[in-house]
Amino acid sequence: MDKKSIPDIEILFELADLFKVFGDSTRLRVMVTLSDCEMPVMELAEALGMEQSTISHQLRVLRQNKLVRVRREGKQMYYSLDDDHVKKIIEMGMDHIMEG
């Protein structure tokens, strides 16, 4: 790899921060659960057997890092993965773990 193809250090710091977000098993559970459908916090907490406040905190972190998005319908907020890139990152990680 030549020096021109190495990304700028700031980009690498941002990438490292992104991977830190993926380094939490609770956040991964939330993202995997949201990978097929959007859900409100209460349903997500019920599906994961966790407190709603815990899920809300993790969703806040995931939103700040542009990994999930929210859609409002009346008073209800529905969460989903931000885009297919997030789902692909999870799938590629799972593929890597399941190899061999």
Length of the chain: 100
What is the 8-class DSSP label of residue 61? Answer: H
Supply angle C-alpha 54, 56, 62, rounded to 5.
105
Give the pLDDT band of residue 86 (cuts 50, 70, 90).
very high
Residues 14-52 pLDDT 10s: 999 999 999 999 999 999 999 989 999 999 999 999 999
Q: What is the pTM assigned to this prediction?
A: 0.89
